[in-house]
Amino acid sequence: MSPAKTPAEILDIDGHEVRVTSPDRVVFAEPGLTKLDLVRYYLAVADGALRGAGGRPMVLKRFSKGLDQEPFFQKRVPEKHPAFIDTATLRYASGTSAEETVIRDAAGLAWVVNLGCLDLNPHPVRAEDLDHPDELRVDLDPMPGVAWAQIVDVAFIAREVLEDHGLTGWPKTSGSRGLHILVRIRPDWEYADVRLAAETLAREVENRAPGLATARWWKEERGESVFVDFNQNAKDRTVASAYSIRPLPDARVSTPLTWDEVRDRRPEEFTVLTVPDRFRAIGDPHTGIDDAAGSLDALLALAKELGPAEKPPRGSDGSGRRASTMPLIEVARTKTKPEALDALETWRKRHPDASEQLHPADVLIDGMRGSSSLWYRVRVNLQHIPDAERPAQEALIADYDPWAGRSAST
């Protein structure tokens, strides 16, 4: 006989009633945090979390089956949503559209957490103007083997480039290994211009810090550098916003910093258990961000000076697909990251000599967006292995198809 479910907790949040189901279900085993603990965390930092995600349409990233299972991404707002949840209809580059969730208050934060959301994933637009972003997002994504000091060095160079072009950067930990820099802009430009400005910023950072930073979109070409990920500004992309809880065992939080803190603080310091006390003590370091909206004119002028970015060569098989300049082999495609790591370990055991010669950045495990969830692709770059010793492409150790069973209309 299964135990009875714990009764739902009914919270009154600024006059709105929010029902928290299974409130004592443990979400983070290591620190012992329950679902209700996560709701209370977001209420404690509500002003800061809403500064990052409030008033913006968001994709719901739902961990309904727990942290050990892949989340699913829900663009459409649940049909039965309370009156205090607003919506906005986004039209995607693919031609589809979705009526997405817009939260505007602390009750909205509690409601999305009850759905199984940990991090908040808003678009860079306001619900009142869906075609003109008011935020440019700089995602400093370190390749394997890159130390925190290198990420910090790149962050300060990005800050310098922004200031040279009349913009203010607001740093925060990504909640994983990297840093984000948020840049408020006037909503005068469309997505294509914002992405071009972000790519130009990335190219200029690479020009000022060759070897430390890269703007190369193709992962196998980056080496042990920090990728300045400009494509987070594409129309369909979202980024975990400030004060988002990340799905790591220690319940780490994507936390706003002052520039004086960037060099000395570390991402692992900021968790659900520590951030509320910090918030009560110092407030939100991003309090002034909405008053610092700038212009993209200078970055777009630099884009003209630099000229078009170098494009990768195309294959000779008539498909028009990009041809890699690196000696890549594909190892596996899997449904989950643990399966991807297991497949990689199997490959390493088959090829121990080659495995010993790999550099950290030669192992490429990519989370790929499927129809409603992530899947994982495992590749190995053989660039540091002599030609005669390179393993050949073999049958995939695992060959998961994220589209299996789905028709073109689903």
Domain residues for the domain of 333 are: 328-389
Asked if the structure places residue 382 within a domain, the reply is yes
Residue with tokens 């300049």: 325
Is the pLDDT score of 369 beyond 90? no
Nearest to 74 by CA among 401, 373, 335, 405: 373
Reported confidence tier of residue 150, pLDDT bands at 50, 70, 90:
very high
Total domains, the chain: 1
Q: Name the 3-class secondary structure at 326.
A: coil
What average pLDDT does this structure show over 355-367? 86
- Global pTM reads 0.85
Asked if the structure places residue 361 within a domain, the reply is yes
Asked if the structure places residue 358 within a domain, the reply is yes
Q: Which amino acid is at 315?
A: G
Asked if the structure places residue 366 within a domain, the reply is yes
Instruction: Report whether 255 contacts 243 (CB < 8 A).
Output: yes
pLDDT digits (tens, 9 = 90+) for 265-322: 999 999 999 999 999 999 999 999 999 999 999 999 999 999 988 775 555 444 455 6
Is the pLDDT score of 330 beyond 70? yes
Asked if the structure places residue 349 within a domain, the reply is yes
User: Exposed (0-12), middle (13-18) or buried (19+): which is 387, by Cβ within 10 Å?
Assistant: exposed
- The per-residue pLDDT for 336 is 85
* Tokens matching residue 73: 């991404």
Nearest to 359 by CA among 222, 226, 178, 229: 222
- The per-residue pLDDT for 375 is 85
Nearest to 394 by CA among 354, 336, 337: 354
* Tokens matching residue 302: 């630099």
Asked if the structure places residue 364 within a domain, the reply is yes
CA 332 vs CA 124, 267, 349, 356, 364: distances in Å:
34, 30, 15, 19, 11
Asked if the structure places residue 258 within a domain, the reply is no
- The per-residue pLDDT for 408 is 46
- The per-residue pLDDT for 312 is 59
Asked if the structure places residue 353 within a domain, the reply is yes
Residue with tokens 């990233």: 61
Q: Name the 3-class secondary structure at 126.
A: strand
